C-alpha cells in the first residue's frame, strides 16, 4: 500500500504520526508499503527529506514488511543519479511513475525504463498513471519492458480494463500486474492481477487487505461482498483528491492530522465528518 506522509500544521513532517500510521497499516495486514509515492506527496518533499524518511521508515518497519521506494519523474538522468546514490539503502524495490509533462513517445517511455532498470540495484515496478502524467504506458510497451530481468511488475492506474486484460494475458508468469486503483482492484484481480498498491489501506488496512486476500484465494463472491462493504469509504477517498481525502480519513481515525503541503489544500470539515460517521470498520 502507498503510505501517506503525515504533516504538521507548518508543513514539517509529523514523525510521531508517521510511526503511528506505520504500525496501523502493518498490524492491519498489508504485505508491503510504498514510501514517497503520489499518496506520500513526493513532489513537495525534497531529496534531503526523502533520504531522512527512507531511514526513518525502514527503522520503524523493522523488517516486518518490505519497503518500496517511489522514485519517478521526467528527468531520466536525474533519476539515474539518485539510483546510484541510494544503491545500498534498505529498500526492496523501486516504484517509478512514467515521465510526466514531457509526453514522450512509447519508444521514449521504453528507453527511459530500460535506463533505470539497467542502473538500479533494486527491482523496478513501472507505474502507469496517465491521468497524472498525461501519457499512457501502452500494454505493448509494458510487455516489452516485462522482458527485462530487473523490471518485475506494473502498477496499472490507467483505468482501462482492456489494457489490463492484455497485460494479464500476455505477460510472463513472474511479472506482477498490480492495481493502482482501489475501485478497480477486484476486477483487476479477477483478470489475473496479483495485488494492489492501495490508498484506502492507509485508513482501513484490515478490511481492504482482507478483500484482496479473499479474491487472491479465488473466492470472488465473498470478495465482492467485502468490496461492497467498503464502497462508500472508497468513494469518500476520492471525493477531494488524493492524498487530501485519505488524510481526512486518518484524522477521523486519530492517526494523524489532515495537513498537506501546497499546492494541495487540506480536506474540508464535512469530509472529515463523513469519515467519522463511516466509522472504523
Among candidates 140, 181, 137, which has minimal Cα distance to 157? 181
Q: Rounded CA gap, 179 and 194, in Å?
A: 8
pLDDT in tens, 104-127: 999 999 999 999 999 999 999 999
- Looking at residue 281, its pLDDT comes to 55
3 state SS of 61: helix
pLDDT for the residue 279: 80
Cell triple for 16: 510521531
Instruction: Give me the domains of the chain, ranges plus CATH numbers.
Output: 15-217 (3.20.20.70)
Please state the φ and ψ torsions of residue 127, each to the nearest 5 degrees.
-120, 110
Q: Which residues contact 111 (CB under 8 A, 6 or more apart)?
A: none
From residue 216, alpha-carbon distances to 188, 202, 221, 254 in Å are 11, 20, 12, 31
Greatest pairwise CA separation for the chain in angstroms: 49
Return all residues near 67 (Cβ < 8 A) that are at least 6 apart. Answer: 32, 33, 35, 54, 57, 58, 61, 90, 91, 92
* pTM of the predicted protein model: 0.96
**pLDDT tens-digit map of 263-273:** 999 999 999 99
Q: What distance in Å separates the CA atoms of residue 29 and residue 40, rounded to the nearest whole number? A: 20
CA neighbor of 98 nearest in space, from 75, 77, 128: 128
CA distances to 16, 207, 253, 256 from 20, rounded to whole Å, are 6, 18, 11, 8
Catalytic residue numbers?
127, 155
Low-confidence residues of the chain: pLDDT under 70? 280-281
Amino acid at each position: 500500500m502507498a503510505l501517506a506522509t503525515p504533516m504538521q500544521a507548518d508543513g514539517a513532517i509529523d514523525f510521531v504520526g508517521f510511526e503511528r500510521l506505520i504500525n496501523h497499516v502493518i498490524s492491519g495486514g498489508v504485505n508491503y508499503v510504498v514510501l514517497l509515492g503520489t499518496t506520500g506527496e513526493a513532489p513537495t518533499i525534497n531529496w534531503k527529506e526523502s533520504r531522512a524518511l527512507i531511514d526513518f521508515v525502514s527503522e520503524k518497519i523493522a523488517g516486518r514488511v518490505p519497503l518500496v521506494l517511489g522514485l519517478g519523474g521526467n528527468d531520466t538522468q536525474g533519476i539515474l543519479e539518485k539510483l546510484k546514490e541510494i544503491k545500498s539503502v534498505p529498500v526492496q524495490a523501486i516504484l517509478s511513475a512514467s515521465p510526466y509533462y514531457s509526453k514522450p513517445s512509447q519508444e521514449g517511455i521504453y528507453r527511459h525504463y530500460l535506463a533505470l532498470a539497467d542502473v538500479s540495484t533494486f527491482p523496478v515496478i513501472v507505474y502507469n498513471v496517465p491521468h497524472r502524467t498525461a501519457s499512457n504506458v501502452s500494454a505493448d510497451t509494458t510487455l516489452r519492458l516485462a522482458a527485462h530481468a530487473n523490471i518485475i511488475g506494473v502498477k496499472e492506474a490507467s483505468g482501462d480494463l482492456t489494457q489490463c486484460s492484455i497485460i494479464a494475458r500476455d505477460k510472463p508468469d513472474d511479472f506482477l500486474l498490480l492495481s493502482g486503483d482501489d475501485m478497480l482492484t477486484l476486477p483487476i484481480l479477477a483478470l489475473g492481477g496479483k495485488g494492489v498498491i492501495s490508498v484506502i489501506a492507509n485508513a482501513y488496512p484490515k478490511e481492504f487487505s482482507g478483500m484482496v486476500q479473499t479474491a487472491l484465494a479465488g473466492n470472488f463472491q465473498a470478495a465482492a461482498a467485502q468490496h461492497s462493504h467498503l464502497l462508500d469509504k472508497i468513494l469518500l477517498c476520492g471525493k477531494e483528491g488524493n492524498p487530501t481525502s485519505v488524510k481526512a480519513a486518518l484524522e477521523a481515525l486519530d492517526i494523524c492530522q489532515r495537513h498537506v503541503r501546497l499546492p494541495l489544500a487540506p480536506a474540508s470539515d464535512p469530509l472529515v465528518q463523513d469519515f467519522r460517521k463511516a466509522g472504523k470498520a
